[in-house]
Amino acid sequence: NYPSSVSLVEVGARDGLQNEKAEVSTEQKVTLISLLAASGLKRIEAGSFVSAKWVPQMADSADVFARLAAFEPASGAQVTYSALTPNVKGLEAALSAGVSEVAIFGSASESFSQKNINCSIDESLRRFEPVVKLAHSNRIRVRGYVSCTLGCPYEGDIASSDVARVSRQLSEMGCYEVVISDTIGTGTPVKTARVLDAVMQHVPVNQLAVHFHDTYGQALANIHTALQLGVSSIDSAIAGLGGCPYAKGASGNVATEDVLYMLDGMGIKTGIDLSALLEASLYISDVIGRLPQSKVAIALRGG
Ligand code: HMG
Ligand code: MG
């Protein structure tokens, strides 16, 4: 039993561009985001309030949000522009910039937690608590990512029980959605089902999202598995952009075009128009001087 509709969360402008070597200007980011919004996407992760020493590509996030505030999509639809905020300092900057939603990001792997946010899992959860409280007191909803749920670049296999524990803690803290993330794309369908089953013992499926990187070409199969289990919130990145600078070997997220093509084929509603999405894909691929990492975009390009 598949969900009748799915909410796609577009992460290309954040997860994609945070790892991009080519220089992408603030204006180009805003153009990309406005093309994404014009395609019907309603949830767009547009930046990250992290240390510029750690992720220089996201240093202009406040400017991106300032420009987005002035931008209304032609459809008149409400679009939620969100940002990553690892601590209170990041949240305060995000609030000043006028973000409409934020995300905290923890990990099921100790080593990845240290490499990515420079603290242990337990310490990260302690730091997230005041972020969630302050966000809620400003009527801002919080998503909670759990990285390395299907493998870690430093530790290899991660126990499902560790994924379930961190997921439960983020949910209890007040995250409205917990994002089960395959940071390096090593997951396969049966393993995906096992991990989601373990998490669903603690977090209701309507509060779960999935976030797959496509390093090993398994993302669509894993998404199909998640859909069968009732997950209806899916992260993806336009043109398959993406990767995490602190996860060696991680390639891009699953491409939004490919996910949409599959969902359209299954009769699952998203409210997104594939040809409009393609424009965004070709635009950003042109900016970074590469072909889209999307089979669908390549198949339809110029056709
Ligand atoms: P730290 O060095 O332990 O932090 O970094 P600190 O509190 O000791 O501060 C050090 C310096 O950073 C200070 O500046 C702070 O002011 C500054 P200095 O005095 O040296 O000039 N600082 C900040 N600046 C801007 N914004 C902030 C902020 N906080 C402190 N929010 C910290 C800890 C978390 C800041 C750092 O490790 C960091 O920025 N990490 C970010 C890593 C990152 O962005 N990774 C990619 C995103 S996660 C991801 O991609 C995975 C995901 O896609 C899911 C998946 O696929 O798994 C979400
Ligand atoms: Mg990611």
The residue written with tokens 């990285």 in the block is 147
Element (H, E) at 48: strand 43-48
How many angstroms separate the CA atoms of 114 and 198, rounded?
Answer: 24
Tell me the best of 17, 51, 116 to mutate to test the pocket of ligand 1, counting ligand atoms within 8 Å of each CB and taking the most: 51
Alpha-carbon distance 13 to 231, whole Å?
23
* C-beta of 45 in contact with ligand 1 (< 6 A): no
267 CA from centroid of ligand 2 (Å): 27
DSSP class of 240: G
Name which residue sits closest to atom 33 of ligand 1, judged by CA. 117
Ligand 1 binding pocket includes 54 (Cβ within 6 Å): yes
Per-residue DSSP letters for 61-84?
HHHHHHHHHT---TT----EEEEE
Q: How far apart are CA 124 and CA 112, in angstroms?
A: 12
C-beta atoms surrounding 135 within 10 Å: 24
What ligand is nearest to the CA atom of residue 105?
1
186 Cβ below 6 A of ligand 1: no
Name the packing angle between helices 219-228 and 189-200 (round to 10°).
40
Q: Whose Cα sits closest to atom 42 in ligand 1?
A: 116
Give the integer Cα–Cα distance in Å for 212 and 46.
18
Q: Are 38 and 73 in contact (CB under 8 A)?
A: yes
ipTM: 0.98
| CA-closest residue to ligand 1 atom 49 | 244
> How far away, in angstroms, is 271 Cα from ligand 2 center?
23
Pairwise CA distance, residues 79 & 101, whole Å: 11
Rounded distance between C-alpha atoms, residue 174 and residue 30, angstroms: 30
- State pLDDT tens for residues 165-220: 999 999 999 999 999 999 999 999 999 999 999 999 999 999 999 999 999 999 99
- Enumerate residues 6+ apart whose C-beta is below 8 A from 162: 108, 109
- The H or E element that residue 248 is part of is none
Per-residue model confidence (pLDDT) at position 244? 62
* CA of 112, nearest ligand number: 1
Spatial distance between the Cα atoms of 1 and 24, rounded to a whole number of angstroms: 41
Q: Please indicate whether residue 118, judged by its CB atom, sits closer than 6 Å to ligand 1.
A: yes
115 lines ligand 1 (CB under 6 A): no
pLDDT tens-digit readout, 48-103:
999 999 999 999 999 999 999 877 665 566 899 999 999 999 999 999 999 999 99
